[in-house]
Structure 1
Amino acid sequence: MKIVGHPISFRLPGRVSELRNRLSRVRYFRGHGVHSPFVYDIVRSVFMRDDLLPGRRDLYEALLTAGVSRRRAVQLQNLMIHCGYTTFGLNRADAEFCVATCGLPRPATLALVRAAAEAGHTVALMSPYDGCERQALCGQIIAGHASTTVDNRGYLLIFNNHLPKQHFRI
């Protein structure tokens, strides 16, 4: 049986997987179910804003130049302002807020995350669902991380601070 040119059997597994992903995130919708005041504040003040907070726009412009969508660039710039980070680095770990783009190879990504953890810096790993290898990499990072991680579908935030080991899928 065909609907719109594609056999139903080819689309069904993908749809079931997508439904499972959405249902697992339902409890975190709009911040409900997040039992961390730090992460709840990020959800309400950063993820739910469509406009830029007052302050510098360096990260926003660099992300747009790197090909990141406007929505994700706004969220990451707002996160930087909200958390009070003064420096950022694209694909490098020598700043308070590090952004690892999806073009960074697996060994370099793992080295960046490790170096940021040692220095106590926060990492935003872009496109955590961009293929099976990328998902496996993110799962490995989450499993081995000692602090809080937040998965926002568009990027994975890895905090290296005093927060307990928790993982939020928003």
Structure 2
Amino acid sequence: MRFGGYPLSFRLPGRVAELRNRLSRARYFRGHGVHSPFVYDIVREVFMRDGLLPGDRTVYEALTAAGISRRRAVQLQNLAIHCGYGSFGLNRADAELCVATRDLSRAKTLALVRAAAEAGHTLAVMSPYDGHVRQALCAQIVAQHRSTTVDNRGYLLIFNNHLPKQHFRI
């Protein structure tokens, strides 16, 4: 059977997976169902904000120059301001807030995750849903991580602090 130019069998599994993904995130919509005050504040003060918070714009400018979308750059800049991070690193782990772009290989991304964990820094892995290989990589990172992780579709936040092991899909 054909619907819209493609056989229905090709589109149905993707639609079912998309529906499952959306339903699994429904309880965290707008912060409802998040039982961590820290993550709830991030949802309300970072993810739900369209504009930049007052303060330094270093993270925003570096991310937009690297090709990250404006929306994600605003969110990560607001995260840096909200959490009080003093330094920022793009594809390196020597800063309080580290960002791993899509361009890094699997081995380099895993090395960056390890280095950030050892240093106690927060890491944002960009584009966690760009293909099955990237999804498997992010699932492996979440499974092996000992603290809180937050997945908001655009990036995976990995906190290396005193928080308990929890995973939020927002």
Do the structures match in fold with TM over 0.5?
Answer: yes
Which category describes the TM-score, using the shorter chain as reference length? over 0.9
Gapped regions of structure 2 (runs ≥ 5): none
Distance 2:6 2:157 in 1: 37
Distance 1:49 1:169 in 2: 18
Distance 2:29 2:127 in 1: 20
Q: What SS does the aligned partner of 1:156 have?
A: strand
Structure 1 equivalent of residue 98 of structure 2? 98
Q: What are the residue-to-residue correspondences of 1:19-58 with 2, within 5 Å?
A: 19-58=19-58
Distance 1:17 1:135 in 2: 13
1:2 deviation in Å? 1.7
Structure 2 equivalent of residue 15 of structure 1? 15
**TM-score, normalised via structure 2 length:** 0.99
Q: What are the residue-to-residue correspondences of 1:126-137 with 2, within 5 Å?
A: 126-137=126-137
Distance 1:15 1:144 in 2: 29
Indicate the RMSD between aligned Cα atoms, in angstroms: 0.6
Letter in 1 for 2:90: L
Structure 2 equivalent of residue 165 of structure 1? 165
Which is worse superposed, 7-16 or 37-46? 7-16
Deviating beyond 3 angstroms after TM superposition, the runs of 4 or more aligned structure 1 residues are none
1:30 deviation in Å? 0.3
Number of aligned residues: 170
Distance 1:105 1:17 in 2: 26
Letter in 1 for 2:65: T
Gapped regions of structure 1 (runs ≥ 5): none
1:66 deviation in Å? 0.8
Structure 2 equivalent of residue 150 of structure 1? 150
Letter in 1 for 2:168: F
Q: What per-residue deviation string (whole Å, max 9, x for no partner) do you get for residues 5-29 of structure 1?
A: 1111111110000000000000000
1:4 deviation in Å? 1.9
Letter in 1 for 2:37: P
Structure 2 equivalent of residue 60 of structure 1? 60
Q: What SS does the aligned partner of 1:153 have?
A: coil
